Amino acid sequence: MLDAGFFSALLLIITINIVLSGDNAVVIAIACRKLTPAHRKKAIFWATGLAIIVRILATALAVYLLKIPYLYLIGGLILVWISYKLLLEDDGEEQISASDSLVQAVKTIVIADVMMGLDNVLAIAGAAGGDLVLIILGLVISIPIMVFGSQLILKAMERLPWLVYIGSGILAWAAAKMIFEEKVVKHWVEGLSGVETAIKIAIVAAVLVLGFIQRKRSGGSKPAEQA
């Protein structure tokens, strides 16, 4: 554990986590934005902890995960749905991802983190060379980065609520990228110049437009219900 190779591999894993943790911080921030300050801390703590544990297990089983058919396609579609649901506000009786539900927020963060973490898992597995100690150390060291980053984004969203659209757009773009990493989808658009980019942009636009329309409808129905 004290040789140069171990530390260089650890540094590489930490770098991978830093580069790929931006989307995760956005998920945490959006999912927790409606919680009370006390519940935010609990949600961030539990969700980040559970997500790290799941990532460690997934990284250890990365070789087997690659054999699951349509893994990236399914993960991307789930992430598209999450990016849309995170745009919505609490409309009263319906419990949605950004509602005042600690359990729901934790669940949303963990699921989204697992979906987005597929690339992260595979990259870390390759960098660690199958060394589980390296994997665990790299992920544990990256925890403060995700927690600190999500808190900064949360504070920004409190001052600038429209930032939620940017955050949701980032997640939708990550989802679109994941979908096109599926071999079947990649083969379908192979040789078609610009089609992949156009579809990715269309996915992001659809999420943002539908989310905007639904938020407007929810906002317009509340005054009528209160009256």
Tell which residue, 85, 68, 75, has the closest CA to residue 177.
75
pLDDT in tens, 71-103: 788 878 888 888 888 787 544 434 434 445 778
pTM for this entry: 0.65
Q: Where are the beta strands (DSSP E) in 63-163?
A: none
pLDDT in tens, 21-59: 666 777 778 788 778 777 888 888 888 778 778 777 776
Tell which residue, 146, 17, 157, has the closest CA to residue 86.
157
* More confident call, 62 vs 168: 168
Q: What is the pLDDT of residue 125?
A: 63
Please tell me the total count of domains within the chain.
1
In which domain, by residue range, is 85 found? 4-226
**Predicted confidence band at 216 (pLDDT cuts at 50, 70, 90)?**
confident
Contact 96, 85 (CB under 8 A): yes
130-153 as b/e, with b when 16 or more CB fall inside 10 Å? ebeebbbbbbeebbebbbebbbeb
What is the C-alpha separation between 136 and 14, in angstroms, rounded?
Answer: 11
* More confident call, 3 vs 10: 10
pLDDT over threshold 90, residue 204: yes
Q: Tell me, what amino acid is at 45?
A: F
What is the C-alpha separation between 95 and 89, in angstroms, rounded?
Answer: 10
* More confident call, 206 vs 133: 206
Question: Mean pLDDT, the chain, as a whole number?
Answer: 74
**Predicted confidence band at 203 (pLDDT cuts at 50, 70, 90)?**
very high
pLDDT over threshold 70, residue 2: no
Q: Tell me, what amino acid is at 8?
A: S
What is the C-alpha separation between 79 and 174, in angstroms, rounded?
Answer: 8
pLDDT in tens, 126-179: 666 667 777 777 777 767 777 777 777 777 877 887 888 888 888 888 888 888
**Predicted confidence band at 123 (pLDDT cuts at 50, 70, 90)?**
low
C-alpha dist (Å) from residue 24 to 7, 15, 73: 25, 15, 19
